[in-house]
């Protein structure tokens, strides 16, 4: 059974009217967390809510999450003040597998940019060459631009509105990459379902290993309630698919195994 920790919000960085990065003191999570894992955070409104870990600081013993307000739970979290106390369960789930990764292409969209930042920081700290492509709606949504530029060799941005970076979505950019630049590249994607599916299809067509981080609605976060099941191909078991728990068996899965 995962232990629950009492934690304190020590820093709130407001990114816009609906978004903030929250930093909490929690030595256990700072020590253990791997890129792609998430935490289940209390919110004063029924169940805890899941958030991808955006970064950890092992010296300061903190972890951060980026939160976008979409409903009551995230509203309560965004409204919290520095010094407020929370409870948290984590780190949860299976993160991105980095063993054998030689070159990384990270693709983020929506709130997926927050866990993508964690993967980028890990790559930088471990000397893995990394290119990041983030898709935003417009310039006003392009949070953490400077931070992303600082953690990778090549940071590319697309906006639907065309007011920053390349006009279009992440696929518009990916399709411009020459095949010769893609050898030995592993792709990791976090974002809206449709974006992850399109990027996975592109990666598969190029013969690249690709991982996605699925976002299902969750309750317990630890594999007990089955609220978060997703369909994963299971040809080796003689079945079209099996149900897997996104929180415990994922949230990261190999892209070609996912039934979208
Ligand atoms: C593994 C994982 C990692 C996540 N990481 C982040 C993150 O880093 N930053 C962030 O801001 N959010 C993240 N989310 C989404 C976040 O958990 C939800 O936005 C939050 O739980 C919504 O709670 P609420 O009470 O504000 O909204 P609710 O009132 O519960 O829902 C409001 C709206 O959001 C939709 N929604 C709720 N939960 C989800 C979900 N899990 N996936 C997709 N849509 C949802 C609902 O369908 C509804 O339309 C993550 C979710 C998962 C499963
Ligand atoms: S949220 Fe309960 S099993 Fe995944």
As a whole-number percent, the residues of the chain with pLDDT over 70 amount to: 100
Of 21, 42, 50, 114, which is best to mutate to test ligand 1, by the most ligand atoms within 8 angstroms of its C-beta? 50
Return the pLDDT at 3.
82
Question: What is the distance between the alpha carbons of residues 189 and 255, in angstroms, rounded to a whole number?
Answer: 9
Average pLDDT over residues 210-235: 96
Query: What separation in Å is there between the alpha carbon of 64 and the centre of ligand 1?
Result: 17
Return the pLDDT at 1.
66
Confidence of residue 153 (pLDDT cuts 50, 70, 90): confident
- pTM of the complete model: 0.96
Please report which ligand is nearest the Cα atom of 248. Answer: 2
Q: 227 CB less than 6 Å from ligand 2? A: yes
Residues 6+ away with beta carbon under 8 Å from 206: 179, 182
Region of 193 (left: φ > 0; alpha: ψ -120 to 50; beta: rest) is alpha
Q: 91 CB less than 6 Å from ligand 1? A: no
Residues 6+ away with beta carbon under 8 Å from 150: none
What Å distances lie between residue 98 and 34, 106, 127, 203, CA to CA? 10, 12, 12, 17
As a whole-number percent, the residues of the chain with pLDDT over 90 amount to: 95
Is the pLDDT at 53 greater than 80? The verdict is yes
Query: What separation in Å is there between the alpha carbon of 217 and the centre of ligand 1?
Result: 7
Q: Average pLDDT of the chain?
A: 96
**Beta-bridge mates of residue 147:** none
List, for residues 65-117, the tens digit of each pLDDT value.
999 999 999 999 999 999 999 999 999 999 999 999 999 999 999 999 999 99
Average pLDDT over residues 28-56: 96
Q: Which domains does the chain have, with CATH numbers?
A: 4-92 (2.40.30.10), 96-213 (3.40.50.80), 216-260 (2.10.240.10)
| Residue 219 CA, closest ligand 2 atom number | 1
- Going by CA atoms, what residue is nearest to atom 50 of ligand 1? 51
Kindly state the tokens that stand for 210.
């690709």
| Residue 115 CA, closest ligand 1 atom number | 8
Q: 239 CB less than 6 Å from ligand 1? A: no
Greatest extent of the chain over all pairs of C-alpha atoms, in Å:
53
Return the pLDDT at 141.
87
List, for residues 16-26, the tens digit of each pLDDT value.
999 999 999 99
- Vertex 52 angle, CA 49 and 53, to 5°: 120
Question: What is the distance between the alpha carbons of residues 50 and 40, in angstroms, rounded to a whole number?
Answer: 4
Q: 39 CB less than 6 Å from ligand 2? A: no
Question: What is the distance between the alpha carbons of residues 70 and 78, in angstroms, rounded to a whole number?
Answer: 10
Which letter does DSSP use for residue 110 in this model?
G
Contact present, 235 and 257 (Cβ < 8 Å): no
- Going by CA atoms, what residue is nearest to atom 32 of ligand 1? 71
Return the exposure string of 195-204: e unless at least 16 CB atoms fall within 10 Å of the residue's CB, then b: bbebbbebbe
Q: 67 CB less than 6 Å from ligand 2? A: no
- Going by CA atoms, what residue is nearest to atom 38 of ligand 1? 217
Question: What is the distance between the alpha carbons of residues 107 and 199, in angstroms, rounded to a whole number?
Answer: 8
């Amino acid at each position: 059974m995962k232990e629950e920790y009492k934690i304190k919000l020590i820093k709130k960085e407001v990114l816009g009217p609906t978004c903030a990065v929250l930093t909490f003191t929690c030595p256990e999570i700072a020590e253990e967390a791997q890129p792609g894992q998430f935490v289940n955070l209390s919110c004063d409104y029924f169940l805890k809510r899941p958030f991808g870990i955006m970064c950890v600081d092992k010296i300061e013993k903190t972890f951060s999450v980026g939160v976008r307000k979409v409903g009551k739970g995230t509203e309560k979290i965004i409204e919290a003040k520095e010094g407020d106390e929370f409870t948290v369960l984590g780190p949860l789930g299976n993160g991105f597998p980095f063993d054998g990764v030689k070159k990384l292409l990270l693709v983020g969209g929506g709130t997926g940019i927050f866990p993508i930042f964690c993967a980028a920081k890990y790559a930088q700290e471990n000397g893995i060459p990394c290119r990041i492509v983030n898709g935003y709606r417009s310039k006003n949504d392009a949070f953490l631009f400077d931070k992303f530029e600082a953690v990778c060799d090549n940071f590319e941005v697309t906006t639907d509105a065309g007011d920053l970076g390349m006009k279009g979505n992440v696929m518009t950019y990916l399709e411009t990459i020459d095949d010769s630049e893609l050898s030995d590249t592993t792709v990791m994607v976090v974002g809206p379902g449709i974006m992850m599916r399109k990027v996975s299809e592109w990666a598969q067509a190029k013969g690249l290993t690709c991982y996605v981080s699925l976002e299902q609605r969750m309750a317990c976060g630890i594999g007990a309630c089955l609220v978060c099941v997703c369909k994963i191909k299971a040809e080796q078991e003689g079945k079209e698919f099996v149900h897997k728990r996104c929180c415990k068996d994922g949230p990261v899965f190999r892209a070609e195994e996912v039934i979208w």
